[in-house]
Chain A
Amino acid sequence: ILNVEQSPQSLHVQEGDSTNFTCSFPSSNFYALHWYRWETAKSPEALFVMTLNGDEKKKGRISATLNTKEGYSYLYIKGSQPEDSATYLCAPSGSARQLTFGSGTQLTVLP
Protein backbone atom coordinates (compact mmCIF):
# COMPACT_ATOMS: atom_id res chain seq x y z
CA ILE A 1 0.00 0.00 0.00
CA LEU A 2 1.44 3.36 -1.06
CA ASN A 3 1.31 6.52 1.04
CA VAL A 4 -0.40 9.08 -1.19
CA GLU A 5 -0.88 12.67 -0.12
CA GLN A 6 -2.91 15.30 -1.91
CA SER A 7 -3.00 19.00 -1.16
CA PRO A 8 -4.84 21.12 -0.55
CA GLN A 9 -7.72 19.08 0.87
CA SER A 10 -10.23 21.63 -0.43
CA LEU A 11 -10.13 24.76 -2.50
CA HIS A 12 -12.56 27.52 -3.38
CA VAL A 13 -11.79 29.69 -6.41
CA GLN A 14 -13.62 32.27 -8.44
CA GLU A 15 -14.76 31.53 -11.97
CA GLY A 16 -11.95 32.38 -14.35
CA ASP A 17 -9.16 31.77 -11.83
CA SER A 18 -6.46 29.26 -12.61
CA THR A 19 -5.56 26.72 -9.95
CA ASN A 20 -3.36 23.74 -9.28
CA PHE A 21 -3.14 20.85 -6.83
CA THR A 22 -0.39 18.49 -5.76
CA CYS A 23 -0.15 14.73 -5.44
CA SER A 24 2.83 13.21 -3.60
CA PHE A 25 3.67 9.53 -3.67
CA PRO A 26 6.61 7.21 -2.99
CA SER A 27 9.00 7.25 -5.94
CA SER A 28 10.10 3.65 -5.46
CA ASN A 29 8.32 0.81 -7.29
CA PHE A 30 6.43 3.29 -9.47
CA TYR A 31 4.47 2.13 -12.51
CA ALA A 32 1.91 4.83 -13.38
CA LEU A 33 0.08 7.82 -11.96
CA HIS A 34 -3.65 8.23 -12.58
CA TRP A 35 -5.76 11.37 -12.13
CA TYR A 36 -9.52 11.03 -11.70
CA ARG A 37 -12.31 13.56 -11.57
CA TRP A 38 -15.19 12.74 -9.23
CA GLU A 39 -18.36 14.79 -9.30
CA THR A 40 -20.81 14.57 -6.43
CA ALA A 41 -23.29 11.67 -6.80
CA LYS A 42 -21.38 10.29 -9.79
CA SER A 43 -18.52 7.86 -10.32
CA PRO A 44 -14.83 8.70 -10.68
CA GLU A 45 -13.82 9.37 -14.29
CA ALA A 46 -10.27 9.01 -15.58
CA LEU A 47 -8.55 12.22 -16.66
CA PHE A 48 -4.97 11.16 -17.27
CA VAL A 49 -2.63 8.21 -16.94
CA MET A 50 1.07 9.07 -16.92
CA THR A 51 4.03 6.76 -16.73
CA LEU A 52 7.23 8.57 -17.72
CA ASN A 53 9.19 11.11 -15.75
CA GLY A 54 8.54 14.53 -17.27
CA ASP A 55 5.25 13.46 -18.84
CA GLU A 56 2.78 16.23 -19.49
CA LYS A 57 -0.81 15.57 -20.45
CA LYS A 58 -3.50 18.02 -21.46
CA LYS A 59 -7.27 17.78 -21.93
CA GLY A 60 -8.89 21.10 -22.70
CA ARG A 61 -8.21 23.49 -19.84
CA ILE A 62 -6.84 20.76 -17.60
CA SER A 63 -3.24 19.59 -17.67
CA ALA A 64 -0.96 17.48 -15.51
CA THR A 65 2.75 16.95 -15.04
CA LEU A 66 4.69 14.09 -13.52
CA ASN A 67 7.99 13.86 -11.66
CA THR A 68 8.71 10.23 -10.83
CA LYS A 69 12.16 10.88 -9.39
CA GLU A 70 10.89 13.08 -6.59
CA GLY A 71 7.43 11.51 -6.44
CA TYR A 72 4.95 14.23 -7.27
CA SER A 73 2.41 15.27 -9.87
CA TYR A 74 0.63 18.57 -10.42
CA LEU A 75 -2.83 19.07 -11.87
CA TYR A 76 -3.57 22.48 -13.38
CA ILE A 77 -6.89 23.99 -14.34
CA LYS A 78 -6.77 27.13 -16.44
CA GLY A 79 -9.70 29.54 -16.28
CA SER A 80 -11.81 27.50 -13.85
CA GLN A 81 -15.51 27.13 -14.59
CA PRO A 82 -18.32 26.11 -12.21
CA GLU A 83 -18.58 22.77 -14.05
CA ASP A 84 -15.00 22.02 -12.94
CA SER A 85 -16.26 21.71 -9.36
CA ALA A 86 -15.47 18.16 -8.28
CA THR A 87 -13.06 16.14 -6.21
CA TYR A 88 -9.81 15.39 -8.02
CA LEU A 89 -8.16 12.13 -7.03
CA CYS A 90 -4.69 10.94 -7.82
CA ALA A 91 -3.73 7.28 -7.68
CA PRO A 92 -0.26 5.87 -8.23
CA SER A 93 0.22 2.23 -9.07
CA GLY A 94 3.19 0.00 -8.43
CA SER A 95 4.32 -3.02 -10.36
CA ALA A 96 1.25 -4.94 -9.21
CA ARG A 97 -0.93 -2.36 -11.01
CA GLN A 98 -3.54 -1.83 -8.35
CA LEU A 99 -4.26 1.82 -7.60
CA THR A 100 -3.91 3.49 -4.23
CA PHE A 101 -6.13 6.55 -4.16
CA GLY A 102 -5.31 9.74 -2.32
CA SER A 103 -7.99 11.46 -0.29
CA GLY A 104 -8.51 13.98 -3.07
CA THR A 105 -8.71 17.75 -3.50
CA GLN A 106 -12.25 19.08 -3.40
CA LEU A 107 -12.55 22.03 -5.79
CA THR A 108 -15.43 24.48 -5.71
CA VAL A 109 -15.58 27.10 -8.44
CA LEU A 110 -17.78 30.01 -7.49
CA PRO A 111 -19.65 31.83 -10.28
Chain B
Amino acid sequence: DAGVIQSPRHEVTEMGQEVTLRCKPISGHDYLFWYRQTMMRGLELLIYFNNNVPIDDSGMPEDRFSAKMPNASFSTLKIQPSEPRDSAVYFCASSFLGQGSMDEQFFGPGTRLTVL
Protein backbone atom coordinates (compact mmCIF):
# COMPACT_ATOMS: atom_id res chain seq x y z
CA ASP B 1 0.00 0.00 0.00
CA ALA B 2 1.26 3.49 -0.83
CA GLY B 3 0.17 4.88 2.51
CA VAL B 4 -1.78 8.08 2.96
CA ILE B 5 -1.35 10.34 -0.05
CA GLN B 6 -1.61 14.10 0.13
CA SER B 7 -1.43 16.71 -2.58
CA PRO B 8 -0.01 19.14 -3.22
CA ARG B 9 3.11 18.76 -1.07
CA HIS B 10 3.75 22.49 -1.18
CA GLU B 11 1.37 25.33 -1.90
CA VAL B 12 2.20 29.01 -2.09
CA THR B 13 -0.70 31.36 -2.60
CA GLU B 14 -1.70 34.94 -2.05
CA MET B 15 -4.01 36.20 0.64
CA GLY B 16 -7.62 35.97 -0.41
CA GLN B 17 -7.18 33.03 -2.74
CA GLU B 18 -8.97 29.72 -2.32
CA VAL B 19 -6.80 26.77 -1.34
CA THR B 20 -7.79 23.11 -1.64
CA LEU B 21 -5.78 20.36 0.00
CA ARG B 22 -6.38 16.74 -0.96
CA CYS B 23 -6.03 13.43 0.83
CA LYS B 24 -6.35 9.79 -0.14
CA PRO B 25 -6.48 7.54 2.94
CA ILE B 26 -5.19 4.00 3.14
CA SER B 27 -7.62 1.60 1.50
CA GLY B 28 -9.87 -0.05 4.07
CA HIS B 29 -9.43 2.63 6.72
CA ASP B 30 -12.70 4.02 7.99
CA TYR B 31 -11.41 7.05 9.92
CA LEU B 32 -9.83 10.11 8.37
CA PHE B 33 -8.32 13.01 10.30
CA TRP B 34 -7.11 16.48 9.27
CA TYR B 35 -4.43 18.11 11.44
CA ARG B 36 -2.59 21.40 11.33
CA GLN B 37 0.93 21.86 12.64
CA THR B 38 2.19 25.27 13.69
CA MET B 39 5.07 26.39 15.88
CA MET B 40 2.70 28.06 18.30
CA ARG B 41 0.07 25.36 18.70
CA GLY B 42 1.86 22.16 17.73
CA LEU B 43 -0.20 19.43 16.09
CA GLU B 44 -3.90 20.15 16.42
CA LEU B 45 -6.90 18.22 15.16
CA LEU B 46 -9.14 20.17 12.81
CA ILE B 47 -11.82 17.62 11.87
CA TYR B 48 -12.31 13.90 11.56
CA PHE B 49 -14.58 11.60 9.58
CA ASN B 50 -15.89 8.09 10.20
CA ASN B 51 -17.20 6.23 7.17
CA ASN B 52 -17.16 9.51 5.21
CA VAL B 53 -19.33 11.31 7.79
CA PRO B 54 -17.88 14.27 9.71
CA ILE B 55 -17.89 13.40 13.41
CA ASP B 56 -16.22 16.36 15.09
CA ASP B 57 -15.29 19.64 13.42
CA SER B 58 -14.82 21.62 16.61
CA GLY B 59 -11.17 22.13 15.78
CA MET B 60 -11.88 23.95 12.53
CA PRO B 61 -10.67 27.48 13.25
CA GLU B 62 -13.42 29.41 11.50
CA ASP B 63 -15.94 29.42 8.70
CA ARG B 64 -13.25 29.97 6.12
CA PHE B 65 -12.29 26.32 6.61
CA SER B 66 -14.39 23.47 5.26
CA ALA B 67 -13.77 19.77 4.72
CA LYS B 68 -15.54 17.10 2.73
CA MET B 69 -15.23 13.39 2.21
CA PRO B 70 -17.37 12.46 -0.81
CA ASN B 71 -16.22 8.84 -0.76
CA ALA B 72 -14.03 6.44 1.18
CA SER B 73 -10.94 7.19 -0.86
CA PHE B 74 -10.89 10.97 -1.03
CA SER B 75 -11.14 14.01 1.22
CA THR B 76 -10.55 17.72 0.75
CA LEU B 77 -9.78 20.58 3.11
CA LYS B 78 -10.63 23.95 1.66
CA ILE B 79 -9.69 27.41 2.89
CA GLN B 80 -11.58 30.30 1.35
CA PRO B 81 -10.41 33.03 1.53
CA SER B 82 -6.91 32.19 2.75
CA GLU B 83 -4.99 34.44 5.15
CA PRO B 84 -1.29 34.62 6.06
CA ARG B 85 -2.04 33.14 9.51
CA ASP B 86 -3.23 29.96 7.79
CA SER B 87 0.37 29.22 6.82
CA ALA B 88 1.20 25.84 8.35
CA VAL B 89 1.75 22.18 7.53
CA TYR B 90 -1.53 20.32 7.10
CA PHE B 91 -1.50 16.58 7.73
CA CYS B 92 -4.07 13.99 6.82
CA ALA B 93 -4.15 10.69 8.73
CA SER B 94 -6.27 7.56 8.52
CA SER B 95 -6.97 4.59 10.77
CA PHE B 96 -9.31 1.66 11.15
CA LEU B 97 -10.97 0.21 14.19
CA GLY B 98 -11.38 -3.52 13.89
CA GLN B 99 -9.91 -6.90 14.60
CA GLY B 100 -6.15 -6.78 14.59
CA SER B 101 -6.14 -3.01 14.68
CA MET B 102 -4.26 -1.07 17.31
CA ASP B 103 -6.15 2.01 16.24
CA GLU B 104 -2.94 3.82 15.37
CA GLN B 105 -3.19 6.65 12.90
CA PHE B 106 -1.12 6.63 9.73
CA PHE B 107 -0.04 10.06 8.61
CA GLY B 108 0.45 11.41 5.13
CA PRO B 109 3.52 13.46 4.16
CA GLY B 110 1.72 16.74 4.78
CA THR B 111 1.07 19.82 2.69
CA ARG B 112 3.15 22.87 3.50
CA LEU B 113 0.95 25.91 2.89
CA THR B 114 2.35 29.42 2.63
CA VAL B 115 -0.07 32.31 2.28
CA LEU B 116 1.62 35.55 1.28
A-side residues, CB < 8 A to B, are 32, 34, 42-46, 49, 89, 96-104
Contacts and interface: CB of A to CB of B under 8 A. Distances in A.
Which size bracket describes the interface of B in this complex? 20 to 34
B2 interface: no
Query: B-side binding surface: helix, strand, loop or mixed?
Result: strand
Given A44-B43, A89-B43, A98 B33 contact: yes
B73 to A, nearest CB: 19
Query: A-side binding surface: helix, strand, loop or mixed?
Result: loop
A49 B103 contact: yes
B38 to A, nearest CB: 11
Interface of B: 31, 33, 42-45, 48, 55-56, 91, 97, 102-110
Contact of B45 (A43, A100, A103, A104): A100
A34 B104 contact: yes
B49 to A, nearest CB: 11
Interface centre among A89, A98, A103 (most CB of B within 10 A): A98
A49 B105 CA distance: 10
Contacts of B48: 98
A98 B109 CA distance: 20
Nearest to A42: B109
A24 to B, nearest CB: 15
